[in-house]
Amino acid sequence: MIVNTTYGDVFKTSNKHIAFAVNTEGFNDAGFAGSVSRYWPKLANTGPKKLGDVISKKGTNKIFHALVCHSLGNDGWEKTAETVTKCLDSLDVPNDETIAIVLMGAGMIGQLGGANVFSILGGMARSKKRVAVYTL
């Protein structure tokens, strides 16, 4: 469920958990995932992953959750909304904590790949987890 939307830097969130999109091919050196890979170098090239996988990493003050929810190929964003719901609901985050989540599909990679941002927001809203959506 979406509890808030914020225009701002998700790295400055007071929330402990940050979720974001990564691709099934495992090439995550661009977009927001590329920014995270500066702190989490292995994220830049994870190798192939399955749609719906979640890769988590505890940092100093934050826990990052990479949601494998799209592909770089044709129709790569087609199942993102339903996959985001599944990924969020699988996170081991207490129901009273809010997860900061990056608005997926709004960047260059998503737009070039045909991402439907409103559908993806619907997937976030259908999750049982509390999410605060961040966008720039």
What is the secondary structure of 54-112 as a DSSP string? EEEEE-SS-EEEEEEEE-SSTTTTTTHHHHHHHHHHHS---TTSEEEEE-TT-SHHHHH
Q: Please give the pLDDT value at position 126.
A: 98
Residue 74's pLDDT band (boundaries 50, 70, 90)?
confident
Reply yes or no on whether the pLDDT at 115 is more than 90: yes
Ordered domains of the chain (ranges, CATH): 2-135 (3.40.220.10)
Amino acid found at 48: P
Residue 60's pLDDT band (boundaries 50, 70, 90)?
confident
Q: How far apart are CA 93 and CA 32, in angstroms?
A: 22
Neighbours of 50 (CB within 10 A): 7
Reply yes or no on whether the pLDDT at 108 is more than 90: no
Q: Please give the pLDDT value at position 75.
A: 85
Residue 133's pLDDT band (boundaries 50, 70, 90)?
very high
Q: How far apart are CA 4 and CA 2, in angstroms?
A: 6
Reply yes or no on whether the pLDDT at 86 is more than 90: yes
